[in-house]
């Protein structure tokens, strides 16, 4: 079974600064997908960024980027130029490469951006 661990229950960052959220996972699979989801107070899970394990290049989406270390089974999220709207719960999630497999989530990190 796969497990996802987020070791930082809470973090805070000053507006316009950079913050990195950590995620480690355990799997015996060689091919899989990793995701970061954002859950604001509205409760909807919003996809932030996606990484395919067979791609060595780290994914980037505007101010969001990841540091994917496959051998170390580490998948951290970097948020640059933090904005007040980034305040939310952030969940790291794993999914096998084969079809119709569920997401396995970590427990989340609560990020607060301070003005």
Partner 1 sequence: DAGVTQSPTHLIKTRGQQVTLRCSPKSGHDTVSWYQQALGQGPQFIFQYYEEEERQRGNFPDRFSGHQFPNYSSELNVNALLLGDSALYLCASSLGRRINYGYTFGSGTRLTVV
Interface with partner 1 by CB under 8 A: which residues? 4, 33, 35, 37, 42-47, 50, 52, 91, 93, 95, 97, 99-108
Q: How far is the CB of 6 from partner 1 (least distance, A)?
A: 8
Cα angle vertex 72, ends 112, 65, to 5°? Answer: 40
| Between 17 and 61, CB nearer to partner 1 | 61
Residue closer to partner 1, measured from CB, 10 or 15? 10
Contact 11, 77 (CB under 8 A): no
Q: Please, what is the minimum distance in Å from the beta carbon of residue 17 to partner 1?
A: 26
Nearer to partner 1, 15 or 55 (CB): 55
Nearer to partner 1, 77 or 108 (CB): 108
Q: How far is the CB of 1 from partner 1 (least distance, A)?
A: 10
Cβ 16 to partner 1, closest distance in Å? 28
Residues 6+ apart with CB under 8 A from 48: 35, 36, 37, 38, 61, 64, 77, 90
Cα distance between residue 28 and residue 20, in whole Å: 26
CA distances from 8 to 11, 85, 89 (A): 7, 20, 11
């Amino acid at each position: 079974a796969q497990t996802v661990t987020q070791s930082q229950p809470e973090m805070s960052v000053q507006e316009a600064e950079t913050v990195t959220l950590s995620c480690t996972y355990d799997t015996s699979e060689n091919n899989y997908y990793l995701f970061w989801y954002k859950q604001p107070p509205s409760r909807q899970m919003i996809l932030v960024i996606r990484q395919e394990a067979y791609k060595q290049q780290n994914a980037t989406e505007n101010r969001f980027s990841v540091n994917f270390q496959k051998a170390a089974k580490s998948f951290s999220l970097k948020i640059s130029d933090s904005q007040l709207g980034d305040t939310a719960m952030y969940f790291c999630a794993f999914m096998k490469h084969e079809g119709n497999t569920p997401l396995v989530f970590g427990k989340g990190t609560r990020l607060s951006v301070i003005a």
